[in-house]
Structure 1
Amino acid sequence: VGRRAGRGELGHAQIAYVASAAFSGVLTDVLTRCAAPGTELTVEVRELETPAQLEALASGDIDVGFLRWRPEYPPEVTATCLLTEQVVLALPAAAPLAAYEAVPAAKLCDECFVAPHFDEEYGCRDQILEVAEHGGFSPRCAPPVRDFIAALTLVGGGLAVALVPDSLRRVHIPGVAYRPLADVPLTTRLVGAYRRGETSPAVRGVIRRLREAAAATATA
């Protein structure tokens, strides 16, 4: 038992994730590796947005986070890129813009954008501003919502458009269509984050499997 624990094949870890880590299959891949024959790792998972995950990692409340890439992390936290995915436009299925195979940025000048707040401005708001700058207009934005599901619900109701990770296409909300942007190649990255110098063998075992998943994605 002691040797297995030392190899990271036994023990418990706390994992947090953003929704698109689940929808994209990234989280499932790592959990499947943790459940491979010969291992008895147990994990507790909960959904938590990126800013809260970074705080929880720094405080020790979680051990591994599946979150959105950031230009910088707390000094005690490091990250491994797991997935780079396209950002697409979610729009009302009945809207005239849904007739486009790919929507030019300039055509969004009269649209109202909605984005999750996530307790910070980095990310979603920056992408809206980039699209607006490319299209030559000042964006009109609805009040921020708490998550992508709430944003897509407003889109389905015909009240707004949203920029979302491509993996959210798997979320079926009536009245929502998805289209690529024709002239603004936006991407977003999912990373696995963890503390530097982690001492728990179980957590190191999860981190090792996370890195294996990242390497497999990079060579696919």
Structure 2
Amino acid sequence: MELRHLKYFIAVAEEKNFTRASERLFIAQPPLSRSIQQLEDELGVALFERGSRPLKLTQAGEFFFAHAQELLNKSKELKSMTQRVGQISKTLSIGFVASTMYGKFPKIIRLYRAKYSTVDLNLIEMSTMDQLRALKEGNIDVGFGRVRHEDSNIRRIILREEKLMCAVPIGHKLLELQRAVSAQDMSEDNLIVYPKNPRPSFADQVLNAFRDRAVEPKKITEVRDLQIAIGLVAAGEGIAVVPRSLQGMKRDDVVYLELNEKHAVSPIIMSVRAMDKSHEIQDMLNLIYDIYDEEGIPHTKESL
């Protein structure tokens, strides 16, 4: 079975007509019909109901159509990913979510550049979901995000779990508690979450944490990004749950409070293509673990 047979079959199935399919594929109708017949002979089943107008798929044809599309898509992803791996010695493109810039990510990039000066690093801010798509399309080589999402084409390594904190404006009533705050303590405030899109995102992690504790915030405001969320907190528009590293965003009008909620954490996840075991990426992973070891940051080591 050849990929061109899948391509031809999908075109006929979608157009429901051999003539329109041949025009779409820029081939004559006779060789297209022969290719479909060869495919049916190889499979030993009829894929189309002959004589039907418009052309209809048989039950076997409908099953094959669903899986043929998946196989063709995977072949396209494989092509782009392989091309990207072939170029990786020249440039390492890295996707990252904004919140990682307040943690160890800048140090990781700085030390990697110093140690591996022959590798050109290209940094691109993008959401976790956009990172997964960019990895499969060959547009980036590594992604650093926070959202757990399974994809058979992507290897995801949880580098560490970062504690969450509550960001409140100066003078907020929660400061009067003089202790770590709970989800229930925060329920009477306007909860500002980010990013608004695409979903799932860090916003869903925060909202799920409240749902898991059977707590419903009085009001929820969704905003585009982290900077807007903190700006609104500073303006007294509400509070936000943020990663602990955000304390690095120094402001005199925002205070960060500890949470007393168990398991109130957000993962930092490194994503790479499933079969990509290049030295450049392994070197980056090793460097991250060296930094964590040096600074006493709890983590579990994995290799590509």
Q: Does TM, normalized by the shorter one, top 0.5?
A: yes
1:62-120 C-alpha deviation (Å, 9 max, x unpaired):
11111114141x32111222232101111112111023231133222211101112411
Equivalent pairs counted in the alignment come to: 206
1:141-200 C-alpha deviation (Å, 9 max, x unpaired):
33311111111111111111111111111112342110011234311111211112237x
Amino acid at match of 1:198: D
Cross-structure match for 1:94: 171
Cross-structure match for 2:231: 153
Q: Secondary structure at the match of 1:51?
A: helix
Cross-structure match for 1:41: 119
1:105·1:184 contact (CA, 8 Å) conserved in 2? no
Map 1:1-220; keep pairs closer than 5 Å: 10-36=89-115, 39-72=117-150, 74-99=151-176, 100-116=178-194, 117-131=196-210, 134=213, 137-198=215-276, 204-216=278-290, 219=293, 220=296
- CA gap of 1:45–1:132, structure 2 versus 1, over 3 A, is same
Query: Larger Rg: 1 or 2?
Result: 2
Aligned mates of 2:259, 2:107 — CA distance in 1: 28
Q: Secondary structure at the match of 1:114?
A: strand
Q: Larger strand proportion, structure 1 or 2?
A: 1
The structural deviation recorded for 1:9 is 10
Aligned mates of 1:183, 1:105 — CA distance in 2: 7
Q: Secondary structure at the match of 1:44?
A: strand
Q: Secondary structure at the match of 1:154?
A: helix
Aligned mates of 2:270, 2:284 — CA distance in 1: 7
1:68·1:191 contact (CA, 8 Å) conserved in 2? yes
Aligned mates of 2:137, 2:154 — CA distance in 1: 11
Amino acid at match of 2:97: V
2:147·2:200 contact (CA, 8 Å) conserved in 1? no
Aligned mates of 1:168, 1:106 — CA distance in 2: 22
Amino acid at match of 2:101: A
1:9·1:205 contact (CA, 8 Å) conserved in 2? no
Amino acid at match of 2:283: R
Amino acid at match of 1:170: G
1:16·1:46 contact (CA, 8 Å) conserved in 2? yes
Q: Larger helix proportion, structure 1 or 2?
A: 2
Q: Secondary structure at the match of 1:130?
A: helix
Aligned mates of 1:164, 1:209 — CA distance in 2: 29
- Percent identity, aligned pairs only, is 22
Aligned mates of 2:135, 2:161 — CA distance in 1: 22
1:142·1:160 contact (CA, 8 Å) conserved in 2? no
Give me the TM-score of the superposition, normalised by structure 1: 0.82
Gaps of 5+ in 1: 1-7
Query: Which fold has the larger relative contact order, with Cα–Cα distance below 8 Å and residues 6 or more apart in sequence?
Result: 1
1:127·1:163 contact (CA, 8 Å) conserved in 2? yes
Give me the TM-score of the superposition, normalised by structure 2: 0.61
1:120-150 C-alpha deviation (Å, 9 max, x unpaired):
145423423433653x542233331111111
The structural deviation recorded for 1:34 is 4.2
Aligned mates of 1:137, 1:65 — CA distance in 2: 32
- CA gap of 1:9–1:90, structure 2 versus 1, over 3 A, is same
Q: Secondary structure at the match of 2:221?
A: coil
